[in-house]
Amino acid sequence: MLPAEVSSRINHLITRHQPHHDDPSPFFHSQNANFTAYALAANLLDFSHAELNANGRNVDFVLVDGARLAAETFRRYNAGLVSQVNPRVLLELRTWLIDEAKRILAERTNAR
């Protein structure tokens, strides 16, 4: 069981941004749950939604990238040049993202 403050923080990160179709901010698509969890835990990007990729086999995590930092952040993440974040938050976010991906893939399977 996680402490209440960690659970509260995770819920805030997951729900703080709902898609705004009138928002001119670009979106960044990632299939990497580890990077997406890091970007959310570090407050670098905002979660918009998850969707089935055009190939129909993968799920994209869609992040709001208003400052256009996602590509550089992803490069730095892959190079190991990012600051540390709370590991509990990171784990919970990653678990939630993977569960979201499984849910979307299951919906696709059930729709057939």
What is d(CA 24, CA 17) in angstroms, rounded to the nearest whole number?
A: 14
The reported pTM is 0.76
Q: What digits encode the pLDDT tens for the residues 24-63? A: 558 999 999 999 999 999 999 999 999 999 888 999 999 9
pLDDT higher than threshold 80 for residue 18: no
**What are residue 97's DSSP bridge partners?**
none
Long-range CB contact pairs, 71-78, < 8 A, 24+: 71/28, 73/39, 73/44, 73/45, 74/30, 74/32, 74/35, 77/35, 77/38, 77/39, 78/35
pLDDT higher than threshold 70 for residue 7: no
What is d(CA 81, CA 110) in angstroms, rounded to the nearest whole number?
A: 41
pLDDT higher than threshold 90 for residue 97: yes
Taking a C-beta distance cutoff of 8 angstroms, is the pair 71, 42 a contact? no
pLDDT higher than threshold 90 for residue 12: no
- Count of structural domains, the chain: 1
What is d(CA 7, CA 112) in angstroms, rounded to the nearest whole number?
A: 36
The pLDDT assigned to 16 comes to 45
Q: Domain range holding 13?
A: 4-111
Token match 């960044």: residue? 28
Q: In what order do the strands lie in the sheet with 59-64?
A: 27-30, 59-64, 46-52
Taking a C-beta distance cutoff of 8 angstroms, is the pair 65, 45 a contact? yes
